[in-house]
Structure 1
Amino acid sequence: MSTYKDRLKPLNRCIGLQCRAVEGQTYSREISFSSEEPYRRWFGNEILQHTTESVDLSRFGDVATVLFSHGRDPVVGRMPIAKPEKVWLDEAEHKCRAIITFDEDDETSMKLLNKLDKGMLSGVSVGYNVDAWMSLDAGATSPDGRFVGPAEIAVKWTPYEISLEPTPADATVGFGKSIENDNTNTEEEKGMSIPNSTQEPAATAKTPVATTSTPSGEAARTMEQVLQEERTRCAQITDLCRSVGLDPTEYMENGSTLDEVRAVVCDTFIKGRNPVAAGMGGDVTVTADEMDKVRAAATDGLLMRGGIAVNKPAAGAESFRGMSLRDIAVETLIRSGVADANRMSRDDIFKRVMTPDSAFGAIAANVARNSASTAYEDAPVTYPIWTCKGTFTDFRPTDIWQISAAEEPELVPQNGELKHGQMGDQKMATRQGVTYGKIFTMTRQTFINDDISLITRMPAAYTIAARRLINRLVYKILKDNPIMPDGAELFSSKHGNLGTAAAPGKGSYSEARRLMRKQTDISGKQVLNISPAFVLSSSLDETENEILLASLADPSSNNAGVVNPFRNKMQLVVDAELDVDSGAQPYYFAGAPGSNDTIEVATLNGVDAPMIETRMAFNTLGMEFRIFEDLAVTLLDYKALVKNPGNA
């Protein structure tokens, strides 16, 4: 997890030098310069994770270099001694390796190459920045199972400098500096050069003070103050530089004051706001800021952790996949400027992230919405197969009218006149939208227990429940057989759509097809010739209906040569909502929804999926989620529906 450490000066670490000659290249050597060996810092064990998602080697493509003793040697200084020709991640060994080429025209470079070949240079150090940390408590195991806590694991880090080290420190205690420099750091102060408070101000100090004793009393208090001032300076410089996309490393290392950095930031900001002149061919693009990327990666990581498939995970999602809710909350707080978030208790973190503008709240809401969206597509419902879709714009009752079919054209005699056609209309139904919804809460206990099911499974469960509600309302219309505006029941002799009670078979299928084809428009003059497209069956009659619709031969005939006239003519839709507890099992026939009105499922402004909204709860400790849906389930017409009561 990222902590305030990544806002301080860039880090260094040293390992034993492994070097071998490169065939055919006299002045080139292959070295490994970093590994996953635990490294003891003042805050505990540090591990650099070596995976393709963790290590960013892009700096070696432009500004990275090879130095001697990190540029501290009075003779060599910060002059590069070699050039990294190739840098790569050895995934099998979990190490970073490089081929470096020494400058054959530089006498000092050649001397160091000679020392290297003779084994007189025994260490190599790497300078790097860490963008994201993952904290492992004692006994905890990392998501990939390779590391055991307590440890701080750098899950996003960027090496920027390789340095040959003549007198490396013990890799288990120091910061990879030379032995003489390590002596300046107490256990709590390692990782930072402490300026001499009596000689040079903290803001401009560049050289550590050589001392062999631990200060006490007033001196110890002064050093702690200076240490805190330097931490604050580095953190503020980092925030300022990141606001305009500048690298803060240079300003932290050269002792720049905050006022100096502010001046640079202001200049950069002003230049960045220069408008693009019209006609100059400038392209204006909108890119995601760093926090947007974090939100996207954290959202996808939590979805994957919850077992929800993500088609194209955002960059960094794999790292967030192994983080707890607390770790993600800490990450968002740090990126919002709360430098000590990693040291806060879970209660304090929870209170800080439970605010309306919290990035963590936005991540939780995104996870809930994506989870609900996935569940909406996977819900086990059948009504969308054969019903009509509709939309409404408000919740006022709306009458639905049906017009008659157009009259047939009449013969026009020679010199005769064309007659005006007549079309009738009739009220068929009234549509009125209603709202269904529920509220659930991410509580303080949920956060502390790292229970992500509330933002992954619960939205999915409520979404599926919402679709099941629609499914039940649709089939309830068929089972209840309501009275329509013309005063007759949906399935009745008046409507000519009620078949003779019988078990599913050739006879009942033939009757249903005949009844539907004979339906006329509201004028009673035009035969509609509707053909059934679906058989709607209870689960109890599923097998019988499957046989009727799939058999090559007529199931009711003893002669295998008689063709089944219903094979592949209609689609079987089976839903347990049509089951009845006892007696005959009715089954139904429906026309194709594109050209025939049956039952309509309408939503407000065409928004099909349930809506999920969030707010910070006041009466409870947590974040409230509300899921709701605006819909109207309406029986439009009876002509493309036929019922057979079934055989008891």
Structure 2
Amino acid sequence: MRRYDWWNDEYYNEELSLDEGACDLSRLASGNAAVLDSHNRWGLNGQIGVVERAWIENGEGRAVLRLSARDEIAGLVKDIVDGIIRNISVGYTVQRYLVDRKEGEVPTYRAVEWQPSEISFVTVPADAGSSTRQSPDAAQGFPCVFTRASAPTNTQEIDMPNPASTPANAARAADAAPANDNPTPVAPAAAPANAVADANERAAQINELARRHGMDDNAPAWIRGDLSVDQVRAQILDQLATRDQAAGGNLNRVDTVVDEADKMRAAAADVILARGMVVDPSTRERVRAANDNPYRGMTLLEMARFSLERLGVRTAGLNKLDLVGRAFTQSGSDFPVLLENAMHRTLQAAYAIAPDTWSRFCARGSVSDFRAHPRYRTGSLGNLDALNELGEFKNKAIPDGEKASITAGTKGNIINLSRQAIINDDLGAFIGLAAMLARAAKRTVEADVYAYLASNPVMGDGFALFSNDHGNLESAGAPTVETVDAARVKLAAQKGVGNNDFLDLRPAIWLGPLSYGGTARVINSAEYDPDTANKLHKPNKVRGLFRDVVDSPRIADSKWYLFADPADAPVIEVAFLDGQDEPFLDMEEGFSVDGARWKVRLDFGIAAIDYRGAVRNG
């Protein structure tokens, strides 16, 4: 971007480096950075969203934004979604420029240390690639170090405020932009060298004080108001005292947010997951280790050594087997904990992304222990009685309810990690086994639900879940418009507990074998009756009847089902102990195994709690 340096009276080309370590994404990646409308940071109305996360990939800055749902900016958000507003500008500050001057050419100011602070949607960006800015933060005069590159004599550094960084200077520079690459601008009156140096020093000290005490927004006014550094210190002390009093005198305190040991263990787990190519379920992307991660590039054996050395344990002279054994048994060692963290996160990630179908037609519940837990369904009152003139109101009998129960059980396995696997840095024996256990846990619930459904269990009233006594069983037949409509009628005709009134339930899910799945989708989406034998177009009377079609190879026969929404009329419930619907991991140092072993368990139960919300064909 062509800019103008009012301090040195010259034009220059500004360039932002994306070399490793040049761009500090901490503010954008913090989750607190704002998404603005055209860099409007002077009021809350200018913020239209927040930056969820940001990263650099293949030489490009990328970010995930979450936009506000406020009514007053709904049109703006719609234009962004529709691709009408698509230009991006980034507000940033520069901490260090590398200045490259060549004879007869416009100098290049290359920002080699810079920090993005906000992302704005704009009409016309400074860069056609939409990855630059007009930065309000840069307009605050943050101090910046200019380093001369390719200098004819020697390299020197000077502290100066960011040139062309105030809104007034930016506007003047834009107005004075040349029509060619080698302009001869009208130079402003030069200030005495000593005066300029003193002003730069005062601005740098004021900005440093403001940044240190979280008062960056006040720095421009202090600088423009010609306040001395001592006067600024006095104002800062007054504001800190006021802030401290408003906070009840507890401003000056130290809070431990994350323990250092926990940070190191999490960093090691990140490296193990990154090397194991584990996918983060929240982003659906591979876990990546930060560049400054102290465990980056370490093998499992090196992590064991590092864990011991952090405790002050000498590892010189230890063979590999002894070193790994000491890492497991040494009191206070991080090694077994960081392995457990990595195993647990792998287990959760693999379990979260493994597919299932039971959750689409079953209700999800929770139990507090392994005893039988009742599930009650209350009866419904009949219609109100007619009342003659001056007649008495009659008491209404409250019908009895119905009761079902559900009990949780435990399923699990143990896996071992030997010292040899750690020495060989065998992540397949570590990460791979954890992922396989997670998928096995997900399949276990899936298989148990379908086995329970196929068993057609007997309920508390003595009748099978699907039976003529419950009025939810249709004659066997392939899914057609007529058979689906007959099941719909039977579902809607169910009455509540006490038989006082119709529930009028509507089908939401079709469930059946793979061989019928395609036919069910055709029936649900066809505009005309696909079963019509003649050439006349007959409208499909069950079009769009259900919102989901679930076909599974676990249904081995030709039976198919219509389920109401489980939120409205649950039929089968899957309950997890204390609501913990993910596998649980326990670790212990192996005695019979030369290493460590992990126990994975899942506590859940399955039960039919009502028959009214489903109809079976066959």
TM-score, L = length of structure 1: 0.55
Measure, in 2, the Cα distance between the counterparts of 1:378 and 1:547: 29
Amino acid at match of 2:554: E
Residue 579 (structure 2) aligned to one of 606, 613, 627: 606
Structure 2 matches for 1:217-616, cutoff 5 A?
279-310=249-280, 311=283, 315-316=290-291, 320-338=295-313, 340-341=314-315, 344-355=318-329, 357-557=332-532, 558-559=534-535, 561-570=537-546, 571-580=548-557, 585-616=558-589
Q: CA deviation at 1:289?
A: 4.1
Q: CA deviation at 1:409?
A: 2.2
- Map of 1:144 onto structure 2: none
Distance 2:315 2:389 in 1: 94
Partners of 2:488 and 2:153 in 1: CA distance: 93
8 Å CA contact 2:588, 2:597 repeated in 1: yes
Kindly state the Cα deviation for residue 559 of structure 1 after the two structures are TM-superposed: 4.3
- DSSP 3-state at the match of 2:303: helix
Q: Is the 8 A contact 1:598 1:641 kept in 2?
A: yes
Residue 623 of structure 1 deviates from its aligned partner by: 1.3
Query: SS where residue 577 of structure 1 aligns?
Result: coil
1:52 aligns with 2:41: no
C-alpha change, 1:599 and 1:344, in structure 2 (3 Å) is same
Matches for 1:133-152 after TM superposition, within 5 Å: none
CA RMSD of aligned residues (A): 3.5
The answer (yes or no) to whether the contact 1:553–1:562 under 8 Å persists in 2 is yes
1:392 is displaced (CA, Å) by 0.9
Structure 1 pair 449–314 and aligned structure 2 pair: CA distance change class (3 A)? closer
Tell me the alpha carbon deviations over residues 303-360 of structure 1, each in whole angstroms, 9 at most, x when there is no partner. Answer: 111111345756447664532111222222222223x437643212211211364311
**Are residues 374 and 53 of structure 1, via their aligned partners in 2, closer, same or farther at CA, if it must alter by over 3 Å?**
farther
Partner of 1:619: 592
CA–CA separation in structure 2 for the residues paired with 1:319 and 1:282: 31
CA distance in 2, matches of 1:535, 1:376: 25
How do residues 62-211 of structure 1 correspond to structure 2 at under 5 angstroms? none
CA contact 1:601–1:631 (8 Å) conserved in 2: yes
Is the Cα–Cα contact under 8 Å of residues 408 and 603 in structure 2 kept in the other structure?
yes
Residues 379 and 402 in structure 2, CA contact (< 8 A), matched pair in contact too: no
Cα distance per residue 1:280-317 (max 9 Å; x no partner): 53244223344332212211111111111345756447
Residues 348/53 of structure 1: CA separation in 2 closer, same or farther (3 Å cut): farther
Cα separation, partners in 2 of 1:318 and 1:568, compared to 1, 3 Å: farther
Secondary structure of the structure 1 residue equivalent to 2:487 = helix
- Write out per-residue CA displacement over residues 70-122 of structure 1, whole angstroms, 9 at most, x where no aligned residue: xxxxxxxxxxxxxxx9598x9xxxx99x9879xxxxxxxxxxxxxx969xxxx
Q: Which residue of 2 aligns with 1:67?
A: none
3-state secondary structure, aligned to 1:368: helix
Q: 1:628 aligns with which of 590, 601, 604?
A: 601
Q: The residue matched to 1:441 in structure 2 has which SS?
A: strand
Whichever residue aligns with residue 590 of structure 1, its letter is F
Aligned-residue offset at 1:610:
1.1
Residue type of the alignment partner of 2:21: T
From the superposition, tell whether residues 493 and 117 of structure 1 become closer, same or farther in structure 2 (CA, over 3 Å): closer
Instruction: Provide the rounded CA distance (Å) in 1 between the counterparts of 2:559 and 2:259.
Output: 59
User: Which protein has the larger Cα radius of gyration, Structure 1 or Structure 2?
Assistant: 1
**Secondary structure of the corresponding residue to residue 485 of structure 1:** coil
SS of the aligned residue for 1:606 comes to coil
SS at match of 1:292: helix
Q: State how far apart, in whole Å, the 1-side matches of 2:443 and 2:518 are.
A: 23
CA deviation map 1:508-555 (0-9, x unaligned): 101110111111123223111111111101112222112112222221
The change in CA–CA distance for 1:285 and 1:496 in structure 2 (over 3 A counts) is same
Q: List gaps (5 residues or longer) in structure 2.
A: 1-6, 9-18, 25-94, 101-111, 114-144, 155-244
Q: Is the 8 A contact 2:276 2:427 kept in 1?
A: yes
CA distance in 1, matches of 2:583, 2:304: 27
Paired residue type of 1:494: D
Q: 2: distance between equivalents of 1:483 and 1:287?
A: 53
- Give the equivalent residue in structure 2 for 1:107: none
The whole-number CA distance in structure 2 between the counterparts of 1:578 and 1:320 is: 48
Q: Flag the 1:411–1:357 CA change in 2: closer, same or farther, 3 A.
A: farther
CA 1:424–1:529: 2 relative to 1, 3 Å: same
1:481, CA displacement in angstroms? 1.3
Using the TM superposition, give the Cα deviation of residue 418 of structure 1 relative to its aligned residue in structure 2, in angstroms.
3.0
SS in 2 for 1:401: strand
Residue 284 to residue 419, structure 1, CA distance change in 2 (3 Å): farther
Question: Distance in 2 between the 1:300 and 1:434 partners?
Answer: 33
Q: 1:53 & 1:384 partners in 2: Cα distance?
A: 47
Q: Give the structure 1 partner of residue 106 of structure 2.
A: none
Q: Describe the SS at the equivalent of 2:473.
A: coil
The answer to whether the 8 Å contact 1:440/1:624 transfers is: yes
**Contact persistence 2:311–2:333 (CA under 8 A):** no
**In 2, are the aligned partners of 1:301 and 1:317 still within 8 Å (CA)?**
no
Task: Specify whether residues 418 and 459 from structure 1 end up closer, same or farther in structure 2 by C-alpha distance, changes over 3 A only.
Answer: farther
- The answer (yes or no) to whether the contact 2:370–2:408 under 8 Å persists in 1 is yes
Does the 8 Å CA contact 1:492/1:498 hold for their aligned counterparts?
Answer: yes
Deviation at 1:385, TM superposition (A): 1.0
| Mapping for residues 29-48 of structure 1, pairs under 5 Å | none
Deviations 1:238-273 (A, max 9, x none): xxxxxxxxxxxxxxxxxxxxxxxxxxxxxxxxxxxx
The offset of 1:615, in angstroms, is 1.5
SS of the equivalent of 1:491 reads coil
Identical residues among aligned pairs (%): 28
Contact 2:373 2:405 in 1 (8 A): yes
CA distance in 2, matches of 1:317, 1:410: 76
Aligned-partner SS, 2:598: strand
Whether the 8 Å contact between 1:391 and 1:606 is mirrored in structure 2 is yes
Helix, strand or coil for the counterpart of 1:503?
coil
Is the alpha carbon distance of 1:512 and 1:436 closer, same or farther for their aligned partners in structure 2, counting shifts above 3 Å? same
